[in-house]
């Protein structure tokens, strides 16, 4: 597999469509089938990766891997032990000695929202005002986003608004007697006791508190932009549109119309949003690709929402004739690209 | 003083319009405040990162453009903080009244969900605006919390519109003792009891009795959880005999309310607005057969499943 070597190994959960789809994309390009190393095998014997070129994919959606990383078994969908899980994943990443499309230490940082925030701010890139979250109710009123430092896919993300009379927490969270669970439905909690229970569970696991940026709204809802940056270039993107504060597409939201966004924003501002995604990805120079979420405020200005190490699962998107996985492979195979 | 066309009082006609700043107000195009522009109505607003509404407004009132300004749109005054009423804005406008001799229309709260959900907007007693601008024709507000008309009287006011996730019964009752002899257009968003919408049909009776507002042409009882009960109360109220437009849009209007509306009989009524409803196709067909202009449209994104029956704005 010139110029990166002759073969590619995928580190992931083999049953996951991320792995099966990437392998399919390789066979469609006439490439030799990749070796797939499962996280469970790697956890047993890290040396099985040595010497290869590796694409590290998500360890998610596998209960057994999750309990290995978090050091305890959680119930399916439970939001818990996020610090332990992150520590376990970082320790695993440190044991990866092979060359990788995305450097393990970049991936570790991308799963730390505070470290990412500091990196972006130091690079002079626009980000919502943020802090490490403590008890928000020490302020008399406010409107903020609270995000787990080490979460993904909107898991545990809370939109919180309160004043001296009322509180409302909106989140894809189900509050059950035995803990918090991811919910595909975004729910609204208005009882103080419930809100305090949710935050009482989440805050000790580490959260970042972000200024709530009012998002640009098009017919059908507020929008943001997911941009897949590959080899420094903004490639595939998807407008995510929502009637509630979370735009993640698995939460009942829909893909918005890029043409509508471009005309609302103007070409220049749209280009600036894509440039910002490229500059965000450039803060991780040892990574070939990353998914960057760009927030666009009501005045049309772009800010970095977050960067996602595994933000390339964008089924059905095509850019310049390539799927996201095809474009990543294309960048691997590009002879002009330095290894 | 130019009369605002009656048609220009409907600023938020459909559900999707709720989520965007108004493009037109009182018949004029609206633009964000820009001291270099003229010939448009300005929208004054703070942003999440900059609280410049009142300074902008004061600068505008000192400029020559203020002398001919027919309308003012006030946007978000509480960027991050959900506890601040618009008292500073009201004070700035009333203090600057002499600089706004042509002002006929005020929108206090062109604030969209992304800036502040409607039920989180803190309003205030807006009657100082009525007192300060005796030539006012059109007052529109958004947000029910704290909204009051301490002194509900005005000789020239033609349109009053109060958008909310819930209007308190005391606000509705204050209209019963009001004096708006020229009111042609009254739009009230009753909302849900989850968000302070405490008014019942009994609280609406003084309005529906026909004893108030001798010139009323449009009555909007919108965004109402109790839309079915409202429909039942409206069909045989005395006021209906002289209304031209009845607007029950944006609420939870189901077949029950639709059945009641089939009995509508009014010599004056021309239009029935039921946009955003939960009525079956069959009944919509029968309503559309009434000798009226009936709008029973629905936004494409509306969720019609029974468990999610909800007003357009309750948040």
Kindly determine whether residue A163 and residue B116, on different chains, have CB atoms separated by under 8 Å: no
Dist. CA A263–CA A97, nearest whole Å:
47
Note whether A126 contacts B: Cβ–Cβ < 8 A.
no
Chain centroid to CA B312: how far? Answer: 14
Specify which residues A130 forms β-bridges with. A210
3-state helix, strand, coil in chain B (%, to 5): 30, 20, 50
Kindly determine whether residue B114 and residue A141, on different chains, have CB atoms separated by under 8 Å: no
Q: Closest partner residue to A141 among B83, B301, B315, by Cβ? A: B83
Q: Is the pTM of this model over 0.80?
A: yes
Dist. CA A206–CA A79, nearest whole Å:
12
Kindly determine whether residue B83 and residue A211, on different chains, have CB atoms separated by under 8 Å: no
Q: Residue A244 has what pLDDT?
A: 79
Per-residue pLDDT of chain B (315 residues; tens, 9 = 90+): 789 999 999 999 999 899 889 999 999 999 999 999 988 999 999 988 888 999 999 999 999 999 999 999 999 998 776 678 999 999 999 999 999 999 999 999 999 988 998 999 999 999 999 999 999 999 999 999 999 999 999 999 999 999 999 999 999 999 999 999 999 999 999 999 988 999 999 999 999 999 999 999 999 999 999 999 999 999 989 999 999 999 999 999 999 999 999 999 999 999 999 999 999 999 999 999 999 999 999 988 787 776 667 888 876
Kindly determine whether residue B113 and residue A217, on different chains, have CB atoms separated by under 8 Å: yes
Find out whether A148 and A207 touch, Cβ atoms under 8 Å: yes
Kindly determine whether residue B80 and residue A143, on different chains, have CB atoms separated by under 8 Å: yes
Note whether A211 contacts B: Cβ–Cβ < 8 A.
yes
Taking any CB pair shorter than 8 Å as contact, residues of chain B touching chain A are 16, 19-20, 47-49, 80-83, 112-117, 120, 122, 194, 301, 315
Residues of B in contact with A188 (CB under 8 A): 315
φ, ψ of residue A147 in degrees (nearest 5): -130, 135
Residues of A in contact with B47 (CB under 8 A): 297-299
Residues of B in contact with A166 (CB under 8 A): 120
Q: Closest partner residue to A214 among B81, B82, B114, by Cβ? A: B114
Dist. CA B282–CA B280, nearest whole Å:
5
Kindly indicate whether the ipTM for this predicted assembly is greater than 0.90, answering yes or no. no
Neighbours of A177 (CB within 10 A): 4
Kindly determine whether residue A212 and residue B83, on different chains, have CB atoms separated by under 8 Å: no
Q: Closest partner residue to A211 among B48, B120, B122, by Cβ? A: B48
Kindly determine whether residue B82 and residue A143, on different chains, have CB atoms separated by under 8 Å: yes
Note whether A75 contacts B: Cβ–Cβ < 8 A.
no
What residue in A sits closest to B121 (Cα-Cα)? A163
């Amino acid at each position: 597999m010139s110029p990166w070597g002759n073969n590619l190994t995928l580190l992931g959960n083999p049953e996951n469509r991320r792995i099966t789809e990437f392998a399919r994309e390789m066979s469609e390009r006439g490439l030799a089938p990749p070796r797939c190393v499962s996280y469970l095998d790697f956890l047993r014997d890290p040396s099985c990766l040595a010497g290869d070129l590796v694409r590290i994919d998500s360890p998610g959606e596998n209960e057994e891997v999750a309990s290995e990383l978090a050091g305890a078994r959680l119930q399916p969908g439970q939001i818990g032990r996020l610090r332990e899980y992150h520590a376990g994943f970082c320790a695993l990443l440190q044991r990866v000695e092979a060359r990788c499309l995305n450097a393990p230490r970049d991936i570790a940082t991308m799963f730390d929202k505070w470290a990412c925030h500091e990196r972006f701010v130091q690079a002079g890139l626009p980000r919502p005002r943020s802090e490490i979250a403590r008890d928000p109710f020490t302020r008399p009123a406010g409107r903020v986003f609270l995000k787990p430092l080490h979460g993904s896919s909107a898991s545990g993300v809370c939109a919180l608004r309160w004043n001296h009379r009322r509180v409302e927490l909106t989140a894809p969270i189900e509050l059950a007697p035995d803990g918090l669970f991811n919910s595909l439905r975004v729910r609204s909690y208005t009882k103080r006791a419930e809100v305090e229970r949710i935050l009482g569970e989440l805050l000790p696991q580490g959260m970042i508190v972000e200024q709530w940026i009012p998002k640009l709204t098009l017919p059908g809802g507020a929008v943001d932009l997911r941009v897949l940056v590959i080899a420094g270039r903004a490639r595939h993107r998807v407008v995510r549109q929502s009637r509630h504060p979370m735009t993640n597409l698995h939460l009942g939201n829909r893909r918005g119309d890029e043409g509508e966004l471009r005309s609302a924003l103007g070409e220049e501002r749209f280009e600036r949003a894509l440039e910002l995604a490229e500059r965000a990805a450039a803060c991780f120079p040892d990574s070939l690709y990353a998914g960057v979420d760009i927030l666009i405020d009501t005045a049309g200005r772009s800010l970095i929402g977050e960067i996602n190490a595994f933000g390339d699962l964008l089924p059905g998107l095509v850019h310049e004739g390539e799927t996201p996985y095809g474009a990543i492979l294309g960048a691997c195979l590009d002879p002009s690209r330095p290894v | 003083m130019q009369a605002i066309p009656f048609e220009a009082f409907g600023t938020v006609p459909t559900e999707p319009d709720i989520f965007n700043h108004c493009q037109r107000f009182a018949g004029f195009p609206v633009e964000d405040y820009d001291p270099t522009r003229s010939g448009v109505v300005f929208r004054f607003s703070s942003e999440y990162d900059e609280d410049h509404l009142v300074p902008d407004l004061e600068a505008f009132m000192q400029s020559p453009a203020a002398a001919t300004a027919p309308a003012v749109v006030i946007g978000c005054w509480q960027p991050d903080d959900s506890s601040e009423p618009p008292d500073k804005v009201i004070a700035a406008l009333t203090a600057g009244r002499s600089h706004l001799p042509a002002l006929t229309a005020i929108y206090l709260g062109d604030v969209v969900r992304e800036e502040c959900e409607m039920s989180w907007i803190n309003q205030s007693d807006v009657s100082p605006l009525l007192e300060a601008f005796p030539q006012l024709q059109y007052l529109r507000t958004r947000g029910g919390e704290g909204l009051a008309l301490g002194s509900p009287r005005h000789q020239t006011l033609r349109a009053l519109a109060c958008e909310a996730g819930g209007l308190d019964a005391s606000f509705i009752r204050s209209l019963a003792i009001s004096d708006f002899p020229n009111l042609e257009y009254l739009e009230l968003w009753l909302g849900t009891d989850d968000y302070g919408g405490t008014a019942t049909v009994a609280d609406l009776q003084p309005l529906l009795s026909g004893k108030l507002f001798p010139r009323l042409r449009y009555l909007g009882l919108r965004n109402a959880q109790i839309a079915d009960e409202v429909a039942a109360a409206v069909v045989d109220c005395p006021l209906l005999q002289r209304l031209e437009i009845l607007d029950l849009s944006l609420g939870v209007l189901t077949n029950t309310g639709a059945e009641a509306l089939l009995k509508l009989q009014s010599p004056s009524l021309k239009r029935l607005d039921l946009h955003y409803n939960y009525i079956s196709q069959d009944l919509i067909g029968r309503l559309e057969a009434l000798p009226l202009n009936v709008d029973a449209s629905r936004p494409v994104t509306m969720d019609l499943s029974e468990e999610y029956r909800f007003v357009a704005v309750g948040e």
